[in-house]
Every structure is written in C-alpha cells, then in structure tokens.
A and B are shown apart, each in its own frame.
Chain A
Amino acid sequence: MKLTIPEEELMYEGTVDCQGCGAGLAMRYALKALGKRTFVVIPACCWSIIAGPFPYSSLQVPLYHTAFETAAVVSSGIKAALEIKGIDATVMAWAGDGGTFDIGIQSLSGAAERNEDIIYVCYDNEAYMNTGIQRSSATPYKAWTTTTPRKYPKARPKKNIDEIMVAHEIPYVATASVAYPEDFIRKLQKAKNIKGTKFIHVLAPCPTGWRSLPEHTIKLARLAVQTCIFPIYEVEDGKYKINIKPKNPKPVEEYLKLQGRFRHLTEEDIKEIQEATNRKWKKLLKKEEFF
C-alpha cells in the first residue's frame, strides 16, 4: 500500500491539547511534511501550551516561543542568522488567528513585503481560544464567543486574511483544512521548495470554543470546505487554483448546526450566511477564471 502521508513523527504523543483539537493535528501533519530540518516559532496561542511547559517539548525540532505579535519577524531573524551561518533549513512561524489576523498582522505584513524566506502557517480556530474563547477578527459573522454574547453576536464578517496576503504579491498563499491532510501536506512541501514568503492558512476546528463534539472535528473541517464556507485554494505567483471544488455545495446549515456557537442563529441569519457564502464562492471562482 502506498502511503500518502509521511510516516515519520516529529511530534511526541501525549500532548496537552483538548480532545479533538484541530491545531494539534495540524502541527503533526506540518512536521511530517517539512521534516527534521525545521525551526518552529510559536507566538502566544494555544500552541504555547500544547508545546509543553518547561522542561518539556512536544516537538522534536528546535522551537522558539515568542511574543504574541512577533512570529513572522522572529522567524525572519532566525532565517537571517541561518543564512549568514550557511545553514540550510526551513523556518516555520506557527501562529493562531489572533496572532495572525489581529496583533501579528503588522510584522506579518512587514515580513511578506520583504519576502522573507519563511513559511507562515496560521492555524485558525476562529477566536482567542487559549484565553477562553474571545472574538478575533477571524471569528465568523454571528458567532458566539465570550466577548460576543448570543444577544450581540459578532456583527462583522471574518477578515479575509488570504486576500490580504495575496495582495502582498508573495510567491505562495494557500488555504488548507485538517480534513484534507494530503492537500495540506502537499502545500507545505511545495512551500518548502519556494524561496520567499509562503502563507498557509489552515482551518483547525476547536471543540472547546466552537461548542462542538470532539469527534466532529474532522467532519466540521470537511463540511467547512463542502459548504464553501472555507474554500481550499492556492495562489502561486498570483495565479489562483481552487484545489477542492464541491460539485454540489452543501447548505451552510449542515456546518452551522453542529456547533453550539451558532445555536442562536435564526432562519434568517442562516439565509444571510448562505447568501454571503455563495457570493464569496462565486467571487473566488471568477478569480480562478481570470487570474
């Protein structure tokens, strides 16, 4: 049997992530894809905990914990040091949505504009989960969080970080989902062989914050793609390619109804989300057509 996922494990067993944590899975795949010659930089996020407290590390590669807003730039600094010392290795910044969409966007934008030779992975669980489920600019429209109570759920759509990164004209931007590990791994391996800034945005369901069942993590990660809520595509040197194109997209309700964070949605809300999703999907199809 031909294995499509590398067998080598660079993450130890028994990490302290929650049951059904998408972010834990994502790292496991990422290190399988990138291999041993990888430096990992983690800003404040769930992974600051998952990586293990002193004196432990759940990773078998060098790991630098850093301040919330600095993943991209600390990675740039590490890469500069490696280059001056003639060490050939991959530097991967590994940040949550808060550290990417919000507080880290300045240093990410700076690194991307300079086209630093790093891979930046945002594992997106759509809120500040480590601090206890507060809204971020990655939180979807109408979602509940502890700072967007059901009576006043998130009033604005999720920030489109992927298009922001595409606008930087970096060589590679891609989205991925833990439900499609082969696609995610292929993208990381592709990124490893591209010089310049690579941005990969992976949807990582969070049972704790999404108020979903741990056993639904993969199902949700897949439904997000099949409903076109989280399209899987890549933009290589400005050229769009949608990697997973659902023939008959499922209704968004199938995705929403499995999550307690959307429990309060009215039929009208769902209709609105469906329409917004359709619009966004259509726009992406056009982009693929034209660019």
Chain B
Amino acid sequence: MVKKVIYGNHAVSYGARDSRVEVIAAYPITPQTQVVELLSEFCASGELKAKFIKVESEHSAMAACVGASAAGARAFTATSSQGLALMHEMLHWASNARHPIVMANINRAMGPPWSIWTDQNDSIAQRDTGWLQFYCSTNQEVYDTTIQAFKICENDKVLLPGMLILDAFVLSHTSEVVDMPPQEEIDEFLPPYEAKYKLDLDDPRAFGGLMFPDWYYELKYKQHRSMEKALKIIEDVGREFGERFGRYYGLVEEYRTDDAEIVLVVSSTVAQTSKEAVDLLRKEGMRIGLVRIRTFRPFPKEKIRKIASKVDMMIVIDRNISFGSEGVFYTETKAALYNEKSRPPVYGVIIGLGGRDVRVEDIMNIAKKGKNNKLEINKINWWGVKL
C-alpha cells in the first residue's frame, strides 16, 4: 500500500495507471493538463503499457477513444469545459455505440468571458448524452472512482461510458493524502477488459450503420435500461471496493441525516465544505444533515425519496444554472419527489458560479435562512450575487 500526497489531477492519472488503461487520447486544457502530463510520463517510462495518442482536439480525443474501444481496448481521456463541449457529438457516439470509455472532466466554467475556475455547467450540459456521471469530493474518491468507473462501465449489464468529475483547482490542484492499494489487488478487483462486442477479423461485423425507425427506438429503451441497471451495479462495485480496500461508495453519501430535520442536497467539493457547516450547526443545536449526490447519472431517485420521507425541509445547493429554469440538481430532486404522497418543501440555492469561493459560513447562513423560513420557495435563491 502506498500513501502519497498528490493533486486531484494526479489522483486521476494514478487511477488510470492502476486501471491499466490501454489507449489514452487527450488534448491539453487548463486545469486538466496535469492529468495527461503525468500519464505521458507513465507511458514514456514504461510504467504504464498504453498507447498515448496526442490528438489535435478534444473532439478527436473522444473519437480516438471511440475507435480504441470499438477494437476492444480500455480507453481513457480527460478534459474540461470548452473541451468537453467540443466533444459533445462524440459523447453521444460513445454512449450510443455502448463503448465503456472512462473520462475525467475537471469542472470549469464555460466562456465567454474566459474563466478557468470551477462550476458544473460544462458537465451538466452533457447530462443527456448517455454517460454515467460521478461527482467526486476528495482526491481519494477521485482515485477510487477512476478504478471503479471502469468496472461499472465495462459490466455487461451497463456497457456505457462514464465520466468522473472534479472541481477545478478546489480539487484538481489541491494536495491530499491518497492511499493507493498494491497493483495486484487492483488487478484482482479490475481484471483486463474483455469486450463482448468488438471489431473482429474472425467475426467481421458492421457497427453503427443506418437503422430504420423499426429498430432504433428499442435500442434507446435498452440504453436507458442499462442506465437503470447501473444503479445497482454502482452500489455493488462500491461495496466490493469497500470490502477489499476499506472505503465504501454508493450513489449518494449521507452525512448526519439520521435525526435530521433539514437536509442539504449537495455535490462535489461544496459537500466537503457543507460537512463542516453541518458539524458547526449541530453544535448550535440545529438538526441538520446532508446528502451528497455522487452519481448524477443515473440519478438516484429512490435514495432521494427515502431521505426526503424523513425530513422537514430540503435545500438543494447548485453550482450550476440551467438558464431559464433553475439549478439542475434542484430540478432533478424535485422531479424525483413530485409523485410522493408527502414530501418536504424543497428550496433551491445557486452558489459559486465561475469559481466564486464557497465558504463554511455561506452554507451555515443558507441553512439558517432555510430554518427561519427566509429562503424563497419556487424561486432561485442566488447566494452572494452582487446586484
């Protein structure tokens, strides 16, 4: 077992190395560059036996991964923001073609104006491309999720690509201790990828050709069913990972929700900040907890319903905005609860767009405002916006 103090970005690189990825294709973009720099070194030194295609764009990065995966290789890339947006067409392609590619996306605000700091609008905009999305909150989780993502995505019942997501700078460039199990133990957990369907000289088939309306619809149904099945696979893989390595993962992480009256719904590093806030508020006597949504796609509706059934109020804190609507985690949370017989009021707060700092006091004040019925319902609560 190796413990290292590393950046979030390097946690991705080590995770990809220890997953023994076979083909990497990537294009540099701040703040993702460290991910691929370290992977280049792993490939150059022979520490990782992979082909690294240094492509001329992110669109090509994803297209190269698509080709590699189609030929049966374990493929990996990493990007951010504008790069992810450029990939958009090929994100659909990867999912529709059922290629279990894994990608890290460093959440960075979309331009213009240019920003290199975090918010979730880049990855949220890819919500409907058919990728699993894991929002990570610590460097350890980043490393662990990279490895788990391959196991989840390559599962026969899933066969979809997966994206692990971390906040620009707040996580990508922050050093934390990361515990990396011995390679042979990871190999046991994640054996080499044996593609069930691939381009094969001995069994030549055509992939992705024209399909008429009498078949296309059923494929979409199956794609969605695979997403639904992934809900269980994610939990199974998270549990197996925990049994082997002592760190358990699932669709959501609950924190001090047992007797909570108020629950914050959060994601990514805002969740870590919120845990501090919860601890301090508990000391002040507030019965508060939080649920961190780790898996955004597939969306853990059942988990949300279960938590909602026990509490008096939910406050969803979004670091993203769907213009003309509201925060997207807010919409999704409400939608999961709409048909429940009884459900708590759900408030929506937007915070920290473009990397504006999210402090413990911010979260505490949001919770207090909620408790005092000072948050507006059915309206966006813009936290800290200068008007």
Min CB–CB distance B207 → chain A (angstroms)? 5
Of the candidates A77, A80, A84, A116, the one whose C-beta lies within 8 Å of that of B49 is: A84
| Cβ contact within 8 Å between A51 and B206 | yes
| Cβ contact within 8 Å between A67 and B201 | no
A190: interface (CB < 8 Å)? no
Scan B28-61; emit 1 where CB is below 8 A from any A CB, else 0: 0000000000000000000001110111110110
Considering the complex, give the chain B residue whose CB is closest to the CB of A52.
B209
Considering the complex, give the chain A residue whose CB is closest to the CB of B70.
A64
Among A55-63, A134-142, A168-176, the stretch that binds chain B is A55-63
Considering the complex, give the chain B residue whose CB is closest to the CB of A87.
B201
Considering the complex, give the chain A residue whose CB is closest to the CB of B90.
A67
| Cβ contact within 8 Å between A61 and B23 | no
A80 and B74 CA atoms in complex are apart in Å by 11
Residues 34-82 of A contacting B (Cβ, < 8 Å): 36-37, 39, 41, 48-49, 51-54, 56-57, 59-67, 69-70, 73-82
Considering the complex, give the chain A residue whose CB is closest to the CB of B22.
A84
Give the residues in chain A near B205, CB-CB below 8 Å.
Answer: 57, 62-63
| Cβ contact within 8 Å between A41 and B67 | yes
Q: A49-B210, A62-B201, A81-B68 are in contact. Are A54 and B215 (CB under 8 A)?
A: yes
Question: Is chain A's binding surface mostly helix, strand, loop or mixed?
Answer: mixed
Highest count of chain B CB atoms <10 Å: which of A41, A51, A63, A116: A63
Q: How many A-B residue pairs have CB under 8 A?
A: 159
| Cβ contact within 8 Å between B53 and A65 | no
| Cβ contact within 8 Å between B72 and A85 | yes
Min CB–CB distance A147 → chain B (angstroms)? 23
| Cβ contact within 8 Å between B207 and A70 | no
A74 and B215 CA atoms in complex are apart in Å by 25
B212: interface (CB < 8 Å)? yes
Among A106-114, A149-157, A191-199, the stretch that binds chain B is A106-114
Considering the complex, give the chain A residue whose CB is closest to the CB of B64.
A77
Show 7 residue pairs from A and B whose CB-CB distance is below 8 angstroms, ordered by the A residue. A64-B70, A64-B206, A66-B93, A82-B71, A84-B22, A109-B56, A110-B55
Considering the complex, give the chain A residue whose CB is closest to the CB of B23.
A80
A83: interface (CB < 8 Å)? yes
Considering the complex, give the chain B residue whose CB is closest to the CB of A63.
B206
Give the residues in chain A near B51, CB-CB below 8 Å.
Answer: 80-81, 83-84
A285: interface (CB < 8 Å)? no
B312: interface (CB < 8 Å)? no
Min CB–CB distance A82 → chain B (angstroms)? 6
Highest count of chain A CB atoms <10 Å: which of B49, B71, B201, B211: B71
A284: interface (CB < 8 Å)? no
Give the residues in chain A near B93, CB-CB below 8 Å.
Answer: 66-67
| Cβ contact within 8 Å between B209 and A48 | yes
Q: A41-B67, A84-B73, A106-B56 are in contact. Are A53 and B209 (CB under 8 A)?
A: yes
